[in-house]
Amino acid sequence: MKTELTVNGQTRVIDVEPRTTLLDVLRDGLGLTATHAGCEHGVCGACTVLVDGEAVRSCLILGVQADGLDIRTVEGLTSGDGALDIVQDAFCETHGLQCGYCTSGMILAAHALLRVNAAPDEEEIREAISGNICRCTGYQQIVEAIQLAAERIRTSNTLKAGEVVK
Amino acid sequence: MTDQQRRFVSTNRRVREDRRFVAGAGRYVADLDMPGTLHVALVASTAPAARILGIDASEALAMEGVVDVLTGEELSAAVTPLMNGLDTPLVRRFPLAVGQIRYAGEWVAAVVAESRALAEDAAEKVRVRTEALPFVIDAEAALEPDATPVHPEHGSNLLLDRTFDWGPVAEDFAAAEERLSLRVTWGRNSTVPIETFGVIARWNPWEEMLDVWASIQMPKYADQIARALKLPGNAVRVHYDVDVGGSYGVKRGIKHTVLVAYLARKLGRPVRLIEDRLENMRAGDAQGPERIFDIDVAFDRDGTVRSMKMRALDNAGAYAGRAPFQLGKPIGAIVGPYRIGSVQYRAMSVTTNKAVQEAVRGFGQAPTNYAIETMMDRVAAHLGIDRLELRRRNLIRAEEFPYTIPSGSTYDSGDYHTVIDKVLAHADYEALKAERDRLRAEGLCAGIGIAACLEPSGGNSSFEPLLNEKNRTSTWMEGSRVTIDALGFVTVAIHTTSSGQGHETLAATVVGEELGIDPDRIRVTRPDSLSSLPGNSPVGSRMAIMLGGAAARAARNLKRQLVAIGAHAMGIDPDTASYEAGTITAPDGRSIGWDELVDIGHRRFHDLPSGTNPGLTASFIQQVPTGVALPKDGKVQMYPCYSFEFHLVLMAFDPVLAKPEIRRYVIGHDCGTVINPHIVRGMTLGGIAHGIGAALLEEFTYDEGGQLMTQSFLDYLMPSSHEVPSVEIVHHCTPSPLTEFGQKGSGESGYLGAPAAISGAVQDALSPWGVTVDKLPLRMSTISDTIADAETAA
C-alpha cells in the first residue's frame, strides 16, 4: 500500500504491507536502525519515536497509519558529521547508558519531555521515562543526563532540544 | 603506583562507546544488512513433555517464499550434542527437540523463509503430532524416586549431588552453644536484556568458512560452534565487532547459532534468527537459577558463627548446559565476608520440564549471598543481638588478609568494618532507625535491611574441574595486543564482544596510563575470532582484572622496547633511561622523542638494539592471578579478587496493600582501584536495579500444567524508573595486591547484595508480627496475606 512517510524532515512514498509496524518500516524499509525492537508489544519503549513531537511506540502503530505524520528518530537529531545534540551530549556526560540498546528511546522520551517542560524535577523526569525499560543503568544516570540537558537548554540562548552542539 | 601519580586511571573521563550509542549508531546484530539473507521462525511445543510422533511440514513448504523446514531428526544427524558442563553424556541437547519434547515452548522445528513474517506464517502451518508424557516442574518432586525422568536415558533427574566438608563441621556443631535451621527460596528470574538474542551465519563454500555475527557473551563460543558442526576450528570466524544490547550473563545462544549455521551451510545463503520476545522468554534458554537453600547454622551466644551446613537444590530445567556450575562458583565465597570456621555444602542440581537455565549475573553468587545474609539475620534475631553488631563480630578483619576460607579460596584484600562504618556515618544510622520507627508509628510497615557480601571477580572457572573431574581447566586467560603504527599512533586490539561494560574505554585507559598518552588518541579495535589472541569473554567480573591486565602489560612491554631503542640511540644503559609521555631521557638530560623512536622502530633496523624486533608491537596473554592449580581434596582457589559491598535500605509499605516502597538506599562499595568511575557507578546502580527486580518483581512462573505464565513484559515485571530509587554510593578503595592497578571486578556489583538487603528490610518490617516471608520474589499478595494471617491468628 502506497504510504507517504515524513521521517526526519524527508518525505518519501514507499510501498508498505498493511500489517507491517512502523518500527519494521523504519528499520527494514528505510534502513533507519537506530530505532530498536525490544518487546514488540508496547511495554519496554525501546522503539520510541517522536510522532508530531510526542513519544510514541513504533511497534504499536502500523506503518500505513503513519501516513502524513511527522516522524523523528534518533538519526534525525544529528547532522551525521559526528556532532551530538544537547541531550545526546548530556547522556555521554553522565554515562546515562551502558549497552546503548534502550538509549534511542530514552533520548527521544527526554526530547518529548523537554519540549513541553523546560525545568522538570526528578519526579517529572522519572514519570517521562517510566515507559522505557533500561536493564543496565538503574535509571539514575539517565535522570541526571536529562537534568543536565534541561539545565543546559535553559541556560543557553541558542540551543534547543534537537539542535546540534557546534 | 599511587593515585596521585596516575593520569587517567580513576579519573572521571567519558566512556568512549557512549558516542556511537547516543547517535543511534550502535551496530547490533539485527542492524546488519546482508544481501540474500533467509529468516528463521520456530515451531514451539505447546506441551511440557511429549513424544514426537510425526511432523508434517508439507503445507508450510508449499507456501510461497518458504525455503525449508528443519526438524530435530535431520539436525541431530548432522551435528554433535551441545556441550554439557558436567559429565552427563546421556543428557543430550540439540537445538531442536529430538524424539521427545522436554518443556513447553521448546523448539520442535525451524521454518526458513525469505522474510521473518513469511516464516512465522508458515510456522503456523507445521503440524506436529505428539503423544503426551508425564512431566515434573518442581525441583523437590523431581528428586522423588518415582519421579518421571526428564531424560530417561540418564536414569534420574539428578545431574549433580556433591557434598563437600570443609573443616571440622561435626565438631563445631557439637561444640556450639546454639543451632538453628532455615529454608529460603530464590525464584527463577533472569536478567532479560531488552535486546533479544540474535545470530546471523554465512557459509562460504569456496573458502570453507563459516562467518558468525551474534549478540553473544560466551566463553569459547567459536570452539563450541566448530565442535558442534564438526568443522575445523579455523573454519569458524566469529565477528566481535557486534554491539550486544545487554546480556549480564545470559546471551549464550549456542543452540540458536548451531541451528542457523547448519542451515546456512545446507542452503548456501546467510541465515538469520532474531528471537522475538515470546521466543526469548519461553525458549531462549536464558532463565536463571531457581534454588532452595536449607541451612543449619551453629553459633555461640556471643554471636560467633562457628559452622554452617548448606544444601542448595537447583532447578536446572530441561537440559544440563552450564547451569550446575552456578552451584560451584559460590564455593569461592561460601562463607561470605565472615570468619566461619567450617562448612558443609551439598550442591544438588536436577532436571525438570522447565526451560533451560543459563548463566546470570554473578553465576549463582546472588542467591547464595541472599541465603547467607538471611541466615545472619536469623542468628541475630535468635540471640537478640543487633544485626549489625552480629555481623561486625563475625566479619573478617582488615589485618587478617590475605584470608583463606574453609573451601580453599584466599580473599585478596578488604576492610569490611571501615566500609560499614562509612556507610553508617553517611546514612546516619540512628536517624534512619528513628525514621523507621516514625513510619511504624504512622501505621505503616517499615523495615531496615542490611547486607554485607562479596563479589568474587577475575573468574578462572575453577568450578569446572571441581565439579567435573574430567575437566582439567586451570587457565581462563585473556589476551590483548598493542601496536604503534608508522605514523606514531597507538591501537589496542581486544578480543571479545561487549554488552555495555565499556571494554574499549577500559583498554584505552590502561594503555594510555602505561604509555603516558591521552586515551582519547588511542584506537581500540575488535578483530574477528581467527585474528584474535586467546580470550574467555567478559564473564565472572573479570575484564578490569584480565583485559585490563593484558592491555597494560602489553603496553608495558612496548614501553620497554621504546626505552631500549632510545637508550641504544643515546649510547646509555636502558636501566638508567627514564620514560615520560613518549620521551626517553638520559641521566645527563639528553632525550629522544616519540617521532624519532617510531622512525627507528619502523624504518631503521640498523639503529635498533640487538634483540629488538622491528615494528613496535607487543602482545600479552594474562593468566588469572592465583590460578595455578587444579582442585585438591575438594578445595580450590576459585577467583582471585574479592570486592565488598554493604547495602543499607529503608523500606515502607501499607500493611494491607503491601506495595513496597524503597525510602532510602545506601551502598558502600569497595572494588579496589576504579579504572573508570562512570562505568563502575553505572554497574553498581544497574546491579541494584536487577536486585530489586529479583527481590520484588521478576519470576518465570510455571503453572501446574507446565506452562510458562510470564511470557511477555506484561507478566514478567521489571523495575521501571518508578521502582528504582536514587541510590547513594559510598566509595572505598582497598587495592588488590594481585592486579596491575589494584583493581577488582565490579560487573556484578549491586545485584549480589540487593536481594538480600531488600528481603531483610521486608522481614524487619514484618517483625512486629513475628513472621517471615522466605521466598523471592516477595510478592505483595504474599506479604499482605502473611500479615493478615498473623493478625487473624493473634
Residue B118, chain A, CB below 8 Å: the answer is: no
In this prediction, residues A108-118 reach a mean pLDDT of 97
Tens of pLDDT, residues B66-98? 999 999 999 999 999 999 999 999 999 999 999
> Which pLDDT band holds residue B459 (cuts at 50, 70, 90)?
confident
Model confidence at A157: pLDDT above 80: no
Check residue B557 and give its pLDDT.
Answer: 97
Residue B54: CB atoms within 10 A of its CB come to 9
Tens of pLDDT, residues B247-258? 999 999 999 999
Model confidence at B332: pLDDT above 90: yes
- Break chain B into its structural domains and give their ranges: 3-25+477-622, 32-133+194-246+252-283, 363-459+635-793
Q: How far apart are CA B388 and CA B376, in angstroms?
A: 10
B426: helix, strand or coil: helix
Check residue A81 and give its pLDDT.
Answer: 87
> Which pLDDT band holds residue A166 (cuts at 50, 70, 90)?
very low
Tens of pLDDT, residues A121-154? 999 999 999 999 999 999 999 999 999 999 999 9
Percentage of chain A with pLDDT > 70? Answer: 94
Q: How close is the nearest chain A Cα to the Cα of B193, in Å?
A: 6
Q: Which residues in chain B have Cβ-Cβ distances shorter than 8 Å to A88?
A: 22-23
Check residue B1 and give its pLDDT.
Answer: 46
- Residues of chain B numbered 65-104 and touching chain A (CB < 8 Å): none
Check residue B168 and give its pLDDT.
Answer: 98
Model confidence at A158: pLDDT above 80: no
Pick from B28, B679, B689: CB nearest A101:
B28
Kindly identify which residue of chain B lies nearest to residue A81, measuring between CA atoms.
B23
> Which pLDDT band holds residue A156 (cuts at 50, 70, 90)?
confident
Question: Which domains occur in chain A, in start order?
Answer: 2-77 (3.10.20.30), 86-154 (1.10.150.120)
Check residue B376 and give its pLDDT.
Answer: 98
Tens of pLDDT, residues B277-307? 999 999 999 999 999 999 999 999 999 999 9
Strand ranges of the sheet holding A10-15, from the earlier edge strand across to the other edge: A10-15, A2-7, A70-72, A48-51, A54-57
Model confidence at B57: pLDDT above 80: yes
CATH pick for B363-459+635-793 out of 1.10.10.10, 3.30.365.10, 3.40.640.10, 2.60.40.350: 3.30.365.10
Model confidence at B416: pLDDT above 70: yes
Q: Which residues in chain B have Cβ-Cβ distances shorter than 8 Å to A39?
A: 194, 277, 712-713
Pick from B31, B192, B724: CB nearest A33:
B31
Residue A57, chain B, CB below 8 Å: the answer is: no
CATH code at B3-25+477-622: 3.30.365.10
Contacts with B525 (C-beta within 8 Å, 6 or more apart), sequence order: B241, B491, B492, B493, B494
B32-133+194-246+252-283 shares its CATH topology with B363-459+635-793:
no
Check residue B628 and give its pLDDT.
Answer: 87
CATH code at B32-133+194-246+252-283: 3.90.1170.50
Q: Which residues in chain A have Cβ-Cβ distances shorter than 8 Å to B246?
A: 98-99, 101, 135-136
Percentage of chain B with pLDDT > 70? Answer: 99
Q: What is the ipTM of this complex?
A: 0.97
> If you average pLDDT over every residue of chain B, what do you get?
97
Percentage of chain B with pLDDT > 90? Answer: 98
Check residue A162 and give its pLDDT.
Answer: 67
The HSE-up count of residue B36 (CA atoms within 13 Å, CB side) is: 8
Q: How far apart are CA B743 and CA B746, in angstroms?
A: 9
**φ, ψ of residue B786 in degrees (nearest 5):** -65, -40
Strand partners, B295: B182, B310
Q: How far apart are CA B133 and CA B205, in angstroms?
A: 42
**φ, ψ of residue B22 in degrees (nearest 5):** -70, -25
Residue A19, chain B, CB below 8 Å: the answer is: yes
Pick from B23, B191, B501: CB nearest A84:
B23
